[in-house]
Every structure is written in C-alpha cells, then in structure tokens.
Amino acid sequence: MIIATAGHVDHGKTTLLQAITGVNADRLPEEKKRGMTIDLGYAYWPQPDGRVPGFIDVPGHEKFLSNMLAGVGGIDHALLVVACDDGVMAQTREHLAILQLTGNPMLTVALTKADRVDEARVNEVERQVKEVLREYGFAEAKLFITAATEGRGIDALREHLLQLPEREHASQHSFRLAIDRAFTVKGAGLVVTGTALSGEVKVGDSLWLTGVNKPMRVRALHAQNQPTETANAGQRIALNIAGDAEKEQINRGDWLLADVPPEPFTRVIVELQTHTPLTQWQPLHIHHAASHVTGRVSLLEDNLAELVFDTPLWLADNDRLVLRDISARNTLAGARVVMLNPPRRGKRKPEYLQWLASLARAQSDADALSVHLERGAVNLADFAWARQLNGEGMRELLQQPGYIQAGYSLLNAPVAARWQRKILDTLATYHEQHRDEPGPGRERLRRMALPMEDEALVLLLIEKDARKRRHPQSSRLAASAGSQSGLQRRAAGHLAKSRAAVW
C-alpha cells in the first residue's frame, strides 16, 4: 500500500511522517539544510504481520508542484496535512484539486501543530477544513488532530492508516511502471524506482525500457523497501535491471513495460473534469504519472476533447492526466483517456461524437470491446495495449460468444452480417454483368466488396460463405437467412453451379 502526502509548504508533512514511521523522508542534502522538501521522498513502515505500508512525501511549495504530480500517480491513498496555525492555504486547495483530478484516492486528513495554538483555533481550523473537503468531494475523509513533537494523536492516526484497504491484485493486467528515479548501486548495477500502475513483475522477467527502447532483464526486486521475488501494482518498487542502458540515458517519465509498446501517442480523446473553463486550442502543461509535457486542447462536445502533445506520451485507456495553464501557475482540469490515436478527420460528426460518449461510459474491458466492435474490426494487439490486458485477460475476454476472429483481428456478428451481405451483393452484381464468366477469386472479390476493411476477416467471411454454399445441408448463412435479395439468391445459385471457381 502506498500513501502520498499532500498539503501546503511548511505544514509539517515530513515531520508527521517521521513521527509515524521513524524515518526522515528528506533524502537530499539541500532538503535537510533548508528544512523543506524539494523532490519526492520515501518512508516505509514495516509491520509485525509482514505488511509494509509505504509513504511518498511530496513537496508542498508551488515551485515544486511538478514533483508533487509525479508522486501521486497511481496511488490509492493520500494523507492531507493542514497546520493548525495557518489553516487552509493556497497549496492545500491545489493539492486537493489535483487529488480529485487524479482519481479521488481515499483521503485521510491530519491537522498538525495543534500544540502551537489554543483549542478554539483547532476547532476553527477543523471547521474550515471540513468545509473545503466538502467542496472538493472528500466529505467522508477521516480527520485527526496531531502534534508530532509531543506524539499527540499519532497512535490513533497510525491505527487508522493500518486499517486502510490495500489494492486488489488484478492478474489479467500487464505490468507497467513509471520511472521516477534511476541510480547505480555498487556491486549491483543499474536500479530504477517507481510506483507500479498495473500488473505483476518477477525476478528474471524481461521488460521493455522506453527512452532507450531496449529489453532489460530484472535481476533483483525490492517492493516497499523489502527484497522480494514478486512485486505488484500499487507497490513502490525498485528494480535492479541489466541490459544495454546506462543511468544517464534514463529520465523521469520513462517506463518499464511487460510488452513491447506501440509508438507513443501524440493525440488522444479524453473526458475532461474542469475546475476552470478551457478555450479552444489552449496551450497547456500536461502531467501524466511521472511525465510532464506541453500540448494543446481541442474541445469537441460536452466534456469530450482531444489533447495534442508536443512530446508523445505512453498512455493507456483510463489513464489520468492533470492539465495546468501554460504559465504553470494554475491547475485547470483533469482528463481521463477515452481513446488512443483517434482519426484525424471526422471527429465532430454527430454519429462519431455519440459513439465516443458511449465509449466514455464503458465500465469494463468487455463494455469497451463491445463499443469498439460497433464501428467494425478491432485490432486485438492495439486493444490489449489500450486496456493493458495480458494474454490471460484477453483469453477471458474473447470467450464471449458472437465474435469472429482472424489472426489479430476481431469482428462481432452484426457487423459480420453486414459485410456478408455486401459480399453477396457484390458477387451477384458481378454475375449479372458477366454472365458467361466464372466468378472472381477470393482476393479479387475482397477488393471489389470491402477494399478498406480488414483483409484477414474479409477473406475468412468469403471462405465461410463459400463452404456453406458448397454444403447447404450442414449449415446456412444465418445473417442472410430469410432476407436475401433476388441478387443474393442468384449469387448463391452461381456458387452451387460452379465448384471449380472459388466464386
């Protein structure tokens, strides 16, 4: 389990974590000198039962907000810290907005420095905080009053944190980790760290390292600061990796992936959650996991929009992004990925926008596949990447009846029926115009009937229809039964007469 801190600068986040865990999460000499967190810090809290809750200590200063954003990607829990002497401040609100826009992790609130003020001030800040929590959709957050220097409220907060639910491990998802640090260890070699967004990794696995675009072997693993043979999504992981890469070649925002990915994406369709209205083609800072790029937004309809990146990003469906203004001073909106690599034209057509809205409402992988299949053939490799499904996940998904598969392409029964009717119509027209000639071959018929559709699927449907016409006693063409036009029936007659020709 990973818990990220949040809150205004100098409200005591690092001090509170040290009181909880006994670990000072500030790791940089400059941080210790200035008494202020600049980059991400980490603290682990081993328990007698073997659990090791981990904390990501994020900087509270506005100047280091991009580091804070890199720390909250993929977390399930957050600990908001508000000092009783200051109360709610600017970065308190901004951090709450970011947590809301990155997927509403379960929130716990700690009021710190209660020993510096009287009881009336504590009550005043408590009321203020509860009001702000309601404003940002965290009304159910549990609140604790603490004073770290004297241990007040720490035991109750510890007990609460230990009761927080851990993420369920989804075995059908591929491993994906956003790298936020890379360093070398004497005697071990290259080590990278990050929070795993999905999947499972084991010692000995081969992973794809973006940036250098090369395979790397996992030599050793630490999860939650403990050596292990296996690590899962939702854990803080350090991977000792071997391969053709140097520390200097690895950057924050690179990825370790279970599968060789497609090209990174320069355009995606997203569902927006806005705090401030966006304008057409507005320039933005865009944050995703540990990555930070610039880009622009093209507004479509309602809360749908297209994001265009100046630097490509490795994205998947349902990934969360945070959009900030180009001056990097204000958080404007959050975005959830609905579709990768959309078409360049036709995005504003009413029927396409209606289809996008259906896709945005999809609640599961099966729902998303069903919506995609409404528009035609689906490339299974592309779909598996978009949904981050491994082989087990795809096999489970494809067990549903009514699918037609050829290689890595998939079709549903209604679309297959439309294609079959088009094939028969084309064949019938051909025979009307060429009565004394044999039928066209499979490949020619494909080019005549459905030249722009998936080749393997069209040829499979042609072959299926040919078999059914050669053996009418064993099966019928269900999609056209009872509704064939006269041309289609004549086409069937030609099939029965000429077995030498394919059609």
Q: Give me the residue spans of the domains in the chain.
A: 2-162, 176-257, 266-361, 376-503
**Token duo for residue 160:** 């609460």
**Token duo for residue 28:** 């940089």
Query: For residue 471, what pLDDT is reported?
Result: 66
Structure letter (DSSP) for residue 168? P
CA dihedral angle for residue 343, residue 295, residue 364, residue 419, rounded to 10 degrees? 0
- List C-alpha distances in Å: 192 to 41, 182, 245, 256, 312: 15, 4, 11, 9, 22
Identify which has the larger pLDDT, 37 or 6.
Answer: 6
Q: How confident is the model at residue 489 (pLDDT cuts 50, 70, 90)?
A: very low
Task: Assess whether pLDDT exceeds 50 at residue 498.
Answer: no
- List C-alpha distances in Å: 273 to 7, 47, 322, 334: 21, 38, 10, 5
Average of pLDDT values for 354-359? 98
Q: Could you tell me if 175 and 257 are in contact, meaning their C-beta atoms sit under 8 angstroms apart? A: yes
Query: For residue 63, what pLDDT is reported?
Result: 53
- The region of weakest confidence among 26-30, 215-219, 230-234, 379-383 is 26-30
Q: How many CB atoms lie within 10 A of CB 32?
A: 11
How high does pLDDT run on average in the chain?
A: 87
**Calpha distance 129→80 (Å, rounded):** 10
Q: How many CB atoms lie within 10 A of CB 417?
A: 17
Query: For residue 402, what pLDDT is reported?
Result: 86
Q: How confident is the model at residue 37 (pLDDT cuts 50, 70, 90)?
A: very low
User: What does 63-102 look like in DSSP terms, one character per residue?
Assistant: GGHHHHHHHHTT-SEEEEEEETTT-S-HHHHHHHHHHHHT
Average of pLDDT values for 286-292? 92
**Calpha distance 97→11 (Å, rounded):** 18
Paired with 200 in beta bridges are 232
Q: How confident is the model at residue 71 (pLDDT cuts 50, 70, 90)?
A: low
pLDDT in tens, 387-398: 999 999 999 999
Query: For residue 33, what pLDDT is reported?
Result: 44
Class of domain 266-361 (CATH, top level): mainly beta
Query: For residue 212, what pLDDT is reported?
Result: 95
pLDDT in tens, 402-437: 899 999 999 999 999 999 999 999 999 999 998 888
Instruction: State the amino acid at position 40 in one-letter form.
Output: L
Task: Assess whether pLDDT exceeds 60 at residue 487.
Answer: no
Rg (CA), the chain: 28
The reply to whether domains 176-257 and 266-361 share a CATH topology is: yes
Q: Could you tell me if 185 and 241 are in contact, meaning their C-beta atoms sit under 8 angstroms apart? A: no
Q: Which fold has domain 2-162?
A: Rossmann fold (3.40.50)
Query: For residue 26, what pLDDT is reported?
Result: 57
pLDDT in tens, 177-192: 999 889 999 999 999 9
- Strands 77-83 and 2-6, by their bridges, are parallel
Task: Assess whether pLDDT exceeds 60 at residue 500.
Answer: no
The region that residue 352 occupies, defined by phi over 0 for left and psi between -120 and 50 for alpha, beta otherwise, is alpha
Q: What is residue 304's three-state secondary structure? A: strand
**Calpha distance 125→132 (Å, rounded):** 11
Query: For residue 488, what pLDDT is reported?
Result: 42
Q: Indicate the CATH number for domain 176-257.
A: 2.40.30.10
Query: For residue 497, what pLDDT is reported?
Result: 37
Q: What percent of the chain has pLDDT over 70?
A: 88
**Calpha distance 220→230 (Å, rounded):** 9
**Calpha distance 32→55 (Å, rounded):** 18
Q: Could you tell me if 81 and 11 are in contact, meaning their C-beta atoms sit under 8 angstroms apart? A: yes
- The region of weakest confidence among 37-41, 48-52, 74-78, 377-381 is 37-41
Q: What is residue 406's three-state secondary structure? A: strand
Residues 6+ apart with CB under 8 A from 309: 265, 266, 267, 286, 293, 294, 295
Task: Assess whether pLDDT exceeds 60 at residue 29.
Answer: no
Task: Assess whether pLDDT exceeds 70 at residue 164.
Answer: yes
- Strands 331-340 and 320-325, by their bridges, are antiparallel
- The region of weakest confidence among 126-140, 342-356, 426-440 is 426-440
Instruction: State the amino acid at position 299 in one-letter form.
Output: L
Q: What percent of the chain has pLDDT over 90?
A: 66
Q: How confident is the model at residue 472 (pLDDT cuts 50, 70, 90)?
A: low
Query: For residue 154, what pLDDT is reported?
Result: 96
Query: For residue 22, what pLDDT is reported?
Result: 87
**Within its chain, how far is the Cα of 84 from the centroid?**
37
Residue with tokens 């009021």: 111
Q: Which strand (E) or helix (H) includes residue 145?
A: strand 142-145
